[in-house]
């Protein structure tokens, strides 16, 4: 089977790397995800990854802390995840480049759009760390921003614990209905919590298609790139 995309942004939540442990990084889980990314990259798909940091720190949930400080800590969490992902991928022979939205030159390249695109053209997997570099913005928003900047065809939003977008929380409502497809405006109008409104609006305004799918099932990253109809497909109209 042939891949249906040429250039993708894969958004991995931090929790996706934690496996069943819930926090930190689970080596078996990150190894499994890296294997799927390697497969997709070797199919000739240009892969850029935006990684979250919730397995280390959630900026928004630290109620007693200054929000900006807390978000900065969250960004540092994403850098740890980016380095772990780079390590797992390079261990398998996949050439990667980590670019950070916050300058930390001893650790990672700075984010430079044209350089990121060049890396992708050369078949390297590019991992974007530190979100957008701004507090008050989620890593989902960073994924939307980077996808627009590098002209990715799609954002693949890999979620832990859920396999698509539902009309209510499937963990608490057994009758929750899963959407096969959806418009961005529906996410905003129905208040669906799959992505924050900033990220949703950015995708909507720039017509970036999104596929929300579960990361827990092995091979889902590969299947979605091969065009299998899994998860929920979100489009502008």
Residue ranges binding ligand GTP (CB under 6 A): 97, 105-110, 118, 122
Closest distance between ligand GTP and the C-beta of residue 106, in Å?
A: 6
Closest distance between ligand GTP and the C-beta of residue 32, in Å?
A: 25
CB 185 within 8 A of CB 204: yes
Distances (CA, A) of 71 to 53, 97, 136, 139: 10, 24, 7, 11
Query: Cβ-closest residue to ligand GTP?
Result: 109
CA-to-CA distance for 46 and 195, rounded, in angstroms?
A: 24
1 vs 107, which CB is nearer to ligand GTP?
107
129 vs 182, which CB is nearer to ligand GTP?
129
Distances (CA, A) of 17 to 104, 128, 148, 189, 203: 23, 15, 25, 31, 25
110 vs 133, which CB is nearer to ligand GTP?
110
Closest distance between ligand GTP and the C-beta of residue 128, in Å?
A: 13
86 vs 132, which CB is nearer to ligand GTP?
86
Closest distance between ligand GTP and the C-beta of residue 122, in Å?
A: 6
């Amino acid at each position: 089977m042939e891949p249906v995309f040429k250039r993708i942004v894969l958004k991995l939540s931090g929790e996706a790397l934690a496996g069943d442990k819930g926090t930190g990084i689970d080596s078996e889980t990150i190894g499994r995800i890296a294997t799927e990314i390697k497969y997709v990259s070797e199919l000739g798909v240009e892969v850029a990854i935006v990684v979250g940091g919730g397995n280390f720190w959630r900026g928004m949930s630290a109620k007693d802390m200054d929000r900006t400080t807390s978000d900065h800590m969250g960004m540092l969490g994403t850098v740890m995840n980016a380095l772990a992902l780079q390590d797992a991928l390079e261990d398998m022979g996949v050439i990667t480049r980590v670019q950070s939205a916050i300058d930390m030159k001893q650790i990672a390249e700075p984010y430079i759009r044209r350089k990121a695109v060049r890396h992708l053209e050369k078949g390297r997997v590019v991992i974007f760390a530190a979100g957008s570099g701004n507090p008050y913005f989620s890593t989902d928003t960073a994924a939307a921003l980077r996808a627009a900047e590098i002209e990715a065809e799609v954002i693949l939003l890999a979620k832990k614990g859920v396999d698509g977008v539902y009309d209510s929380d499937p963990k608490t409502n057994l009758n929750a209905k899963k959407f096969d497809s959806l418009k961005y405006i529906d996410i905003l109008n129905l208040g669906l919590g799959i992505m924050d409104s900033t990220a949703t609006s950015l995708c909507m305004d720039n017509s970036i298609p999104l596929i929300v799918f579960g990361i827990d099932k092995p091979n889902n990253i590969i299947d979605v790139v091969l065009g299998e109809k899994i998860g929920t497909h979100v489009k502008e109209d």
